[in-house]
């Protein structure tokens, strides 16, 4: 059973996952035919490889939750950023379809407690949900930078990413009265902090 506080936290992360997806979709809709070969802040990937990775991650996570192996997960990951075509002529549709598959897997009975064969060690579905919020949020910035559009991330997403397990121990300072959402300088500072924590140079 999932206790009440964790249910609230899980519900919040599902909401944030939808918010992260909307931000990525907005940038994906701006990608032009000439943009696919552009470099990205993930220096080993161009735009197509980055988008392949984000879309493919939803498919791989869904497979894990449905009993897939870590070995297959890594094989597919290598294909995404190599020559395997994850997105085709309608990348926004591909993104939408992959998201629906993962969302169905995440919302299946018992999925949050299910332990999957993640390559770096067993993870619960609950942790996969958090990972997707973080991964999509940060790669939204990568994509925005690559195609030279607005790279501002939603503050709720930034704050949630900073509290994620992968960035701990890094205490997140509680918001002060003059440090609430909507303060542009604070939003920018938090975003820079997240990007540096994820190995990026937000200059």
Write down the domain spans for the chain.
4-150
Which CATH superfamily, name and number, covers 4-150?
dinb family like domain (1.20.120.450)
pLDDT in tens, 115-165: 999 999 999 999 999 999 999 999 999 999 999 999 999 999 999 999 998
User: From residue 107, how far is each of 25, 110, 112, 183 by CA, in Å?
Assistant: 21, 8, 8, 34
Phi, psi of 31 (to 5 degrees): -70, 125
Q: What is the mean pLDDT of each run of 10 residues along the chain (203 residues)?
A: 76 97 97 96 93 94 95 88 78 96 97 94 95 97 98 96 81 43 74 94 82
Q: What is the pLDDT of residue 4?
A: 74
Of all helices (H) and strands (E), which one includes residue 124? strand 123-124
Q: What is the pLDDT of residue 183?
A: 56
Q: What is the pLDDT of residue 27?
A: 98
pTM of the model: 0.88
Rounded to 10 degrees, what is the CA torsion of 74, 21, 183, 160? -50
The answer to whether residues 94 and 88 touch, using CB atoms and an 8 Å cutoff, is: yes
């Amino acid at each position: 059973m999932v206790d009440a506080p964790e249910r609230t936290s899980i519900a919040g992360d599902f909401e944030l996952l939808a918010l992260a997806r909307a931000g990525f979709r907005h940038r994906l809709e701006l990608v032009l035919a000439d943009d696919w070969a552009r470099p990205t802040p993930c220096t080993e990937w161009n735009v197509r490889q980055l988008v392949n990775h984000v879309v493919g991650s939803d498919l791989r996570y869904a497979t894990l939750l449905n009993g897939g192996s870590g070995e297959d997960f890594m094989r597919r990951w290598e294909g995404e950023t190599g020559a395997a075509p994850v997105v085709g002529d309608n990348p926004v549709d591909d993104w939408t379809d992959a998201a629906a598959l993962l969302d169905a897997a995440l919302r299946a009975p018992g999925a949050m407690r299910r332990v999957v064969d993640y390559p770096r060690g067993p993870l619960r579905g609950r942790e996969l949900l958090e990972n997707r919020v973080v991964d999509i949020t940060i790669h939204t910035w990568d994509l925005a930078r690559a195609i030279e559009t607005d790279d501002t991330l939603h503050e709720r997403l930034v704050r949630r990413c900073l509290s994620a397990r992968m960035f701990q121990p890094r205490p997140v300072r509680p918001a002060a009265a003059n440090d609430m959402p909507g303060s542009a300088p604070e939003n920018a500072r938090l975003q820079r902090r997240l990007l540096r924590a994820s190995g990026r140079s937000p200059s």
